[in-house]
Amino acid sequence: MEKTPYTPVRYLKGIGPQKAKSFARAAIHTIEDLLYHFPRRYEDRTNLCAISRLQPGSTCTIKARVLACSHRRSFKRRGFSITEVSVGDSSGRIACVWFNQPYLKEYFKAGSEVILYGKVEVYAGRMQMNSPEFELLSGEGEGSLDTGRIVPVYTLPEGMSQRSLRRLIKMALEEYIPALNDPLPYDIRQRNELLNTAQSLLNIHFPGSEVLRQDAYRRLSFEEFFLFQVPLALRKARRKTKQGIAHTADGSLADAYIAQLGFELTLSQKKAIEEIRRDMQKPVPMQRLLQGDVGSGKTVVAAASALFCIQSGYQAAFMVPTEVLAKQHVEKIGNQMRWLSKGRQSPRIALLTSSLAASEKKKLLARIREGEVDLVIGTHALLEESVRFKSLGLAVIDEQHKFGVGQRALLPAKGPNPDILIMTATPIPRTLAITLYGDLDISVMRDLPPGRLPVKTIALSADKRQDAYGLVRQELLKGNQAYIVYPVIEESYALDIAGAQKMYRHLKERVFKEFRVGLVHGKLKQAEQDEAMRAFKDREIEVLVATTVLEVGIDVEQATCMVIEHAERFGLAQLHQLRGRIGRGKSQSYCILLAVQPTDLANKRFEAMVTSCDGFRIAEEDLKLRGPGEFFGSRQHGLSDLKIGDPLQQLSLLKRAREEAINVVAQDPLLLDKRNKYLRSELLRRFPDYEHLMVTA
């Protein structure tokens, strides 16, 4: 069999059917998968720490001999057991303790050698390591991979030891490295002083020195960033070759709309509208991301953009994630546009949702098809095959991450290369947004409309709940409204969390019995959710008990107070999104974070919330706390699939990779140049969807 990186891992010597299954469960199917299964950390075993030099609080690696091993059950806690191993070297001894792992007593035999890695603590007057990682040394072939060097430590497939995995990876490197092709063109490697593929893989797994390990890390991170950016650059370059709609309107309709709003637009809004207008006048399709914090006025920008499209003689579609939000937009935008004149009539606006009666829907679809509707506002119902436009000129997609990638592509496909405006209230630091959305132009809105006061955020422990309720009561007595948010619907005994359903009854019957209390959560039918939100908006409900279904909600100007129960169970971005439901009017608003069992991480989130209402600063803090993988989420961004690169810590490297990607595509748009041969084949293998971007016309 020819040796290629895509050879199934089972053909590597020493991997039988069982190990192959174990590898498969760890998403390792080929030799390439194995070689790109990177160490999660390293131990410098060239300089192991002597036991006598261990300090409390330090995290160290020691090499020692097992002196004794014991196992006992706890008399204080039922079902709790302790395995204790005493180890020593020539300088001293230390106890190592594991909890509820009785099988470990079979591993540690007196006289055997072991490597231990963990934190040193003091307990009952003696130093010990609690639950350290360990590796038993057999004495066979030691020295080359396991001791006397910088040693890789991996996340292990089930049933495998560190020692056996190291040997398999070493074998794969020796046998298959000659078969690897480098996807990075030589000139890019030279310019950026990068190792080649062979050198980088050898030194990421078995570094000859710390400097070589860092060089390998830099090279492999650059490769990941570069291969992520090239398809985005290709897509942007291809868009410029498409024939789009050059809107010819003078913008007077949008200007008239803005003039009658009754308030001054922010500088961010004005700038975004001008950027969009310039894009729409060009004969290539606009692809713009409008990134604005909660409450920054993105809807006004979208409405002005739609009017520019309508005045040019085309239709516009506005897709939002929920029915209640679609209805709010129809009502609000409809009222704002009622006084405008397009020839003899105001822009014709229609609502399209899945709950529309069949007879009404049929009539509406016919009107859209005949061009008798100028602006269609709706949910994912807009994506149905039966929805056809006479001349779709602009597609606006709000909260784009709420729709799947395939769904987002369906709406623009309903017109002749319409302009696309994607809106999100999930702030991402600008420098990172440019690299994430390399195929989109970006408008950023940071400032809030005039008259809005920043929401005051207060973090309280659960024993101060009555103080929180007291603040809610004060706001209700002023004629304002309040949200009380829970992380779950039903009470969870396992997590010791009060549920929205049970607490709704308690709040309604005892705490706020003189006020009208309502309930909304995700298990209610859509019509019931919409009815609860409508009743709250129309002030028929004064206190709304809710789950995170509120994240994408409606504007209720009189809602000035929010209590978030079990706030430690919410992520930072989620807390900020929830807080965005209040502070929509001109009154001071309050967000109270009630924590039952806050962790150190939760307390850092609370500190960020208390000290800032700026969604972009919150996003930066969230990125630091969670890391890029969790922050972006696998469904939305290729960056979440990074195995080694860290865009936050390596932002300059990410930007450099983007510059090189743009340069490659500018010089060789079809990647047909000889030097891009391996880059092209690697991209086609990784991203088969991009094949149409790399074929000749």
Is residue 327 within a helix (H) or strand (E), and if so which, with residue range?
Answer: helix 323-337
Q: What is the DSSP string of 340-399?
A: --BTTBPPPEEEE-TTS-HHHHHHHHHHHHTT--SEEEESGGGGSTT---SSEEEEEEES
How sure is the predictor about 159, in pLDDT bands with cuts at 50, 70 and 90?
confident
DSSP state, 30? B
Tens of pLDDT, residue by residue over 96-139, are 999 888 888 888 999 999 988 889 999 888 899 998 888 888 75
Residue 267: per-residue pLDDT: 93
Strands (E), 477-589: 481-485, 517-520, 543-546, 559-564
How far apart (Å, rounded) are the C-alpha atoms in residues 258 and 251? 11
How far apart (Å, rounded) are the C-alpha atoms in residues 233 and 669? 9
- What class is the 44-150 domain? mainly beta
How far apart (Å, rounded) are the C-alpha atoms in residues 319 and 403? 10
DSSP, collapsed to helix, strand or coil, labels residue 638 as helix
Dihedral sign, Cα of residue 584, residue 587, residue 588, residue 593:
negative
Count the Cβ atoms, other than its own, within 10 Å of residue 286: 26
How far apart (Å, rounded) are the C-alpha atoms in residues 537 and 557? 9
Tens of pLDDT, residue by residue over 264-312, are 899 999 999 999 999 999 999 998 989 887 778 899 999 999 999 999 9
Among 155, 162, 168, smallest CA distance to 115 is for 162
How far apart (Å, rounded) are the C-alpha atoms in residues 247 and 135? 68
How far apart (Å, rounded) are the C-alpha atoms in residues 578 and 592? 11
How far apart (Å, rounded) are the C-alpha atoms in residues 203 and 216? 6
Q: Is the pLDDT of residue 334 over 80?
A: yes
Count the Cβ atoms, other than its own, within 10 Å of residue 610: 14
Angle at 570 between CA 565 and CA 572, to 5 degrees: 125
Residue 691: per-residue pLDDT: 61
Q: Is the pLDDT of residue 495 over 60?
A: no
CATH code linked to domain 456-612? 3.40.50.300
DSSP state, 508? I
Q: Is the pLDDT of residue 633 over 50?
A: no
Question: How is domain 1-40+154-180 classified at the architecture level of CATH?
Answer: Orthogonal Bundle (1.10)
The amino acid at residue 464 is K
Q: Is the pLDDT of residue 682 over 60?
A: yes
Q: In what order do the strands lie in the sheet with 287-292?
A: 349-352, 375-378, 315-319, 392-398, 419-424, 287-292, 441-445
Residue 91: per-residue pLDDT: 93
Any residues with CB less than 8 A from the CB of 438 and at least 6 apart, and which?
229, 232, 233, 236, 658, 661
Q: Is 556 exposed, middle or buried (0-12, 13-18, 19+ CB in 10 A)?
A: buried
Q: Is 324 in contact with 520 (CB distance < 8 Å)?
A: no
Tens of pLDDT, residue by residue over 513-553, are 999 999 888 777 877 887 888 888 889 999 999 887 776 66
Q: What is the DSSP string of 143-192?
A: TTSSSSSEEEE-PPPTT--HHHHHHHHHHHHHHHGGGPPP-S-HHHHHHT
DSSP state, 404? -
How far apart (Å, rounded) are the C-alpha atoms in residues 139 and 133? 19
Residue 141: per-residue pLDDT: 47
Any residues with CB less than 8 A from the CB of 685 and at least 6 apart, and which?
none
Residue 325: per-residue pLDDT: 83
How far apart (Å, rounded) are the C-alpha atoms in residues 31 and 8? 6
- Domain covering 252-445, topology: Rossmann fold (3.40.50)
Residue 641: per-residue pLDDT: 59
How sure is the predictor about 638, in pLDDT bands with cuts at 50, 70 and 90?
very low
Residue 697: per-residue pLDDT: 32
Q: Is 694 in contact with 234 (CB distance < 8 Å)?
A: yes
Tell me which of 73 and 526 has the higher pLDDT: 73
Residue 405: per-residue pLDDT: 46
Question: Same CATH fold, 456-612 and 1-40+154-180?
Answer: no
DSSP, collapsed to helix, strand or coil, labels residue 41 as strand
The amino acid at residue 513 is K
Give helix 298-311 / helix 267-281 axis angle, nearest 10°. 30
Indicate the range of 340-354, 581-595, 602-616 predicted with least confidence: 340-354
Residue 214: per-residue pLDDT: 95
Q: Is 571 in contact with 544 (CB distance < 8 Å)?
A: no
Share of the chain above pLDDT 90, in %: 42
Residue-range domain boundaries for the chain: 1-40+154-180, 44-150, 252-445, 456-612
Q: In what order do the strands lie in the sheet with 517-520?
A: 456-461, 590-595, 559-564, 481-485, 543-546, 517-520
How far apart (Å, rounded) are the C-alpha atoms in residues 378 and 87? 68
Give helix 298-311 / helix 323-337 axis angle, nearest 10°. 60
CA atoms in the 13 A half-sphere facing the CB of 143: 3
Query: What is the per-residue burial (b if ≥16 Cβ within 10 Å, else e) of 297-322?
Result: bbbbbbbbbbbbbbbbebbbbbbbbb
Verdict on whether the full-model pTM lies above 0.85:
no
How sure is the predictor about 626, in pLDDT bands with cuts at 50, 70 and 90?
low
Q: Is 151 in contact with 48 (CB distance < 8 Å)?
A: no
Tens of pLDDT, residue by residue over 444-489, are 888 877 777 889 999 999 889 999 999 999 999 999 999 999 887 5
Residue 635: per-residue pLDDT: 34
Residue 498: per-residue pLDDT: 57
- 115 phi, psi to nearest 5 deg: -100, 130
How far apart (Å, rounded) are the C-alpha atoms in residues 167 and 162? 9
Q: What average pLDDT does the structure give for the chain?
A: 85
The amino acid at residue 261 is L
Q: Is 393 in contact with 314 (CB distance < 8 Å)?
A: yes
Q: Is 83 in contact with 69 (CB distance < 8 Å)?
A: yes
The residue with tokens 């040019």 is 312
Residue 661: per-residue pLDDT: 93
Tens of pLDDT, residue by residue over 196-252, are 999 999 999 999 899 999 999 999 999 999 998 898 888 888 777 788 889 988 888
Q: What is the CA radius of gyration of the chain?
A: 30
Q: Is 437 in contact with 289 (CB distance < 8 Å)?
A: yes
